[in-house]
Structure 1
Amino acid sequence: MSWREHPDCPRRGSILCSLTDIPDEGGFEVTFGEGKENFRILLLRQGEEFWCYLNNCPHFSLPLNYHPQTFVTLDGLIMCAHHTAFFKFEDGECVDGPCSGTGLTALPTRLIGSQIVFDG
């Protein structure tokens, strides 16, 4: 199923968070819906730049974090807590680990003032 078909996919214009909610050089998760199959969004930030992806490792379709709002990041990379795959902030490409050659699914967003808005 495409992320656009997910029953909990946020509507275009939904506010995800403020830019400053995302730790600099870190990650922040926003969820829509409830249960194990909810729509999980991962936001990453370096300074004033940010990126938005499905919080879903392509290796086993698990979130990249093991505990809520706890992400392992280092030098512009985020690590999957389950399989130690490393993904680049800027394009989601897997550069090391069991899913090399794949990547995270980018989600469309835009910045309005200091708010990050879903643009899907």
Structure 2
Amino acid sequence: MPLCGVDDVAEGAAIGVEMELFGEHHAFIVTCADGRFHAYRNLCPHAGRRLDWAPGRFLLKDRVLVCAVHGASFRVESGLCIGGPCQGDHLLRVGVEVEGDAVMLTSL
């Protein structure tokens, strides 16, 4: 199932993707670092809140994604929390792979 197009996510950026799967709403974060795509559930492990500061808009600098609610900081390549209230926890990774010009969801 396609999450987004490869051109939708600029190098060093992150986007939000919302979709219905199996009758349930899901929100994802898709990032690109060194030409590789990473995807996570849009859910902070600290408080169970979304990370975006506005729908689909994220605080991101130097490959670190910051939760807009409590300031937890996550590496985009691994989802590891490197600062803030959930240090040592991870974002929930979802499997993705590139097929042609699409970033495809391969596992939840």
State yes or no: 1:112 paired with 2:99.
yes
Unaligned runs of 5+ in 2: none
Q: TM-score, normalised by structure 2?
A: 0.90
**Paired amino acid for 2:66:** M
Distance 1:92 1:31 in 2: 19
CA contact (8 A) 2:37 2:103 kept: no
Q: Deviations over 1:32-70 (max 9, x none)?
A: 23xxx8311110112411101111000111111020121
Matched to 1:19, the amino acid is V
Q: Does 1:72 align with 2:70?
A: no
- Which 5+ residue runs of structure 1 have no aligned equivalent? 1-13
Q: Secondary structure at the match of 2:78?
A: coil
Q: Which has the higher strand share?
A: 2
Please tell me the root mean square deviation across aligned C-alpha atoms, in Å: 1.3
Write out the 4+ residue segments of structure 1 that deviate beyond 2 Å after TM superposition: none
Percent identity between the two aligned chains: 28
